Chains A and B, each alone.
Chain A
Amino acid sequence: MRFYEFEAKQLLKKHGIPLVQSEVVKTADEAKKAASKIGGPVILKAQVIAPGLTAASVKDAADPAGAKTAAAKLLELDDGGRKPNGILVEARPTGEAVYSLSFTYDGTTKLPVIAASNMAGKIDDLSDTHPERIVRRHFSALYPFSDYIAKELAKSLALGGNDLKRMTRIVSGLARLFLKYDLADLDITSLVKLGEGNFAVLDVEADLEIEARHRQRPMLDELGFAKDDLRQVREPTAFELEGARIDAEDPRGIISPIAEFDGNIGLVIGAGGGSLTLTDAVRKHGGRPANYAAIGGNPSVDKARRLTKLVLSKPGVDKIAVMSNVVSNTRADLVARGVIKGITELGFEPADKILIFRVPGAWEADAAKILQKYGVEYCDRTVSISEAARRAVEKVG
């Protein structure tokens, strides 16, 4: 879950990490006022979440009038169907040296890791262009963070004297707040050493571990996160909201995630890795999925029925494919009954609407019996996911 930069900076400020002077504003006029209060050239950052907006969301301004013009432009940005959540107006000091710091988990060692560079930027990009300018230091999520780890990192950045001591304090502070707030990623893409020797963080990106959102509720409340705000990269569509409602109203089984695409083949597919594989398989054979609706955890007849009706009611969708990997606990017969019920309630014949049904597993024989009765094309585990997807796509034409 992505934080807006101004939120991430609130966390940093609370933990004594040095920042530049800044203000969050909502209008172009406020941006002008904030710029004159800060004085000198400023940088304006539209507060957005959708990926791919990094360049478009930032503008420099030489004076308050320029800040007003820039802010007006930035407020027009489309953030995945949302307006920017304000603009961060900040001082932009030039320093004598610049650094970047990145905190994340290393899946190879399974430990949290700090990467640092004496260049600004995202460590992920720098590791392609300047791997020799990056130093790394693992730490522990089991034991409390010790300052010497930060000191060793500062030393390997060739810092000494007061610089080493100041950098140690900053890195330690960030490592502790990274652990304390269950961050998944924390990127300080620009940390500048100012003329008088102090350091200040200029640019921050931070992501919360989504699985920790419940235990981090006090912090999220403090930042003003709404209870249901998951910081999706784009606003959910009406289709997706309705899917989530169907899922929430019946605890038997899970429909998640549900997403709307712009194709014409409705998908009711098994969850987890199967849903990824099936979506790829449909596309591989030239099909265009209309949606992503992964069902798992043994859904009830009613859940399958409501989901089927939702998918078939989407404009442009004429037929659905019901497919999954070989399942352990999902009852194929319940899925079959729910899907058929949904289709007949819409006034259609199941054989006209179901492209293919492939849910192999413990109840496949029972499902086959039901589907045969309605003349629906059914395949068992001897037909691969690729082949089932190919047949479905072929039928759509």
Chain B
Amino acid sequence: MAVIIHEDFQFIVQGITGREALNFTRECLEYGSKIIGGVTPGKGGREVYGVPVYDTVREITETQRVDGTVITVPLAFAPDAAYEAIDAGIKEIIIITEGIPRKDASAVVEYAALHGARMIGPNCLGIIVPDVCRFGSLGGPAVDCRKAFKPGVVGVMSRSGGMTTEICNALTLSGLGVSTAISIGGDPVIGSTYVDLIPLFEADEETKAVVIYAEPGGTAEAELARWTQEHKSRLPIVAFVAGRFMDEMPGMSFGHAGTVVNKKVDSPADKMRRMREAGISVAEEIGDIPNLVRERIGN
């Protein structure tokens, strides 16, 4: 069992001939992922590491089962690429592209929801089920990816791609390991928030606890606190909130586009208070996460 992706998960890469996409396509293939096609308009007929390139998504979906797509096209084309994937019937969509205005992100999420598709990101790195499948660019070269992500019992959701790897590395070193790790994206409007995804971890037998990495800005953590109070979840949650120094610097943005303290609910202090009140363990330091998880799962 795993969350969203699995051993037979087949996906495509939109924008496969871009520099970053070439890298992660190779890394995913080396990791054992099943990439069955790529799309770059005007470059149909080529190959990328043995993966055939097409001009349109439909050329692939008409002949094969496509479970997901990784979108990493330039900013101006990202919403269009997502609409193309949704209309071709793809249900799991990862958008790596950074800098998409929230109006466009909101419109794409709404369209995806109307068509029963799920969107992760934008401004995310994707999903890893250790040693089973990698869907996106999370974790870097396959050999490094195997070092940082070992199979285990902790589900991870993070607003930062880099910190997803950092936290999974810590969980791996501690021997707890990772069930599924999801880089959910650092933008103010993202397709799937903690609350959208936590029921999937809840249903996953491998997962015994969930770790979230949070940042200033937005209501996602308050929402998770509310969800935790309203649902009798079997999963203990451990949270880490970065950017606490930003409480002293209202209006300034550091880290990601969604990372700014304008309203009370944006503030790390407010997020930590709400989550603690809901019974979520809040780690003071990133290094405390594995021990807190152990305490909570009694291991």
Contacts and interface: CB of A to CB of B under 8 A. Distances in A.
B139 A328 contact: yes
Contacts of A257: 253-254
Interface in B104-152: 104-107, 109-111, 125, 137-141, 143-144, 147-148
Contacts of A275: 254-255
B135 to A, nearest CB: 15
Interface in A228-269: 232-233, 257, 259
B158 A212 contact: no
A384 B174 CA distance: 11
B264 A276 contact: no
B294 to A, nearest CB: 15
A289 to B, nearest CB: 8
Contacts of B88: none
A328 B165 contact: yes
Given A381-B169, A384-B287, A108 B163 contact: no
Interface string A86-113: 0000000000000000000111101110
Interface in B167-205: 169-170, 173, 186, 188-191, 193, 195
A281 B286 contact: yes
Interface residues of B, number: 72
A326 interface: yes
A277 interface: yes
Nearest to B158: A273
Interface in B208-222: 213, 215-216, 218-220
A179 interface: yes
B244 interface: yes
B106 A105 contact: yes
Interface string A136-147: 000011100000
B220 A108 contact: yes
Contacts of B169: 326, 360, 381
Given A108-B220, A273-B213, A128 B264 contact: yes
Interface stretch (B45-53, B94-102, B231-239): B94-102
B74 interface: no
Contacts of B166: 274, 277, 325-326, 385
B286 A384 contact: yes
A386 interface: yes
Task: Report, nearest first, the 8 A-B pairs whose CB atoms are least far apart.
Answer: A273-B160, A328-B140, A384-B287, A273-B163, A386-B287, A276-B242, A276-B243, A325-B166
Given A110-B106, A141-B103, A212-B101, A292 B140 contact: no
A110 B110 contact: yes
Contacts of A2: 251
A374 B259 CA distance: 37
Interface in B237-285: 240, 242-246, 250-257, 259, 262-265, 284-285
Contacts of A362: 140-141, 143-144
Given A276-B246, A386-B285, A141 B106 contact: yes
A160 B87 CA distance: 43
Interface in A207-223: 209-212, 215
A272 interface: yes
Contacts of B189: 105, 107, 110
A247 B190 CA distance: 28
Nearest to A275: B255
A17 interface: no
17 contacts: A107-B193, A110-B109, A112-B103, A141-B103, A142-B107, A212-B103, A259-B252, A272-B186, A273-B186, A273-B242, A275-B255, A276-B255, A280-B242, A326-B166, A328-B125, A381-B148, A384-B285
Contact of B100 (A108, A112, A211): A211
Interface of B: 23, 99-107, 109-111, 125, 137-141, 143-144, 147-148, 158-163, 165-166, 169-170, 173, 186, 188-191, 193, 195, 213, 215-216, 218-220, 223, 240, 242-246, 250-257, 259, 262-265, 284-288
A179 B103 contact: yes
A111 B110 contact: yes
Contact of A273 (B193, B244, B253, B255): B255
A298 B185 CA distance: 20
A118 interface: no
B31 to A, nearest CB: 13
A342 B206 CA distance: 48
A325 B263 CA distance: 28
Given A141-B110, A325-B166, A108 B219 contact: yes
A164 interface: no
A69 interface: no
B156 to A, nearest CB: 13
B148 A326 contact: yes
A108 B103 contact: no
A328 B287 contact: no
Contact of A272 (B148, B163, B195, B285): B163
A387 interface: yes
Nearest to B106: A141
A51 interface: yes
A329 interface: yes
Contacts of A50: 251
Given A294-B255, A386-B286, A273 B162 contact: yes
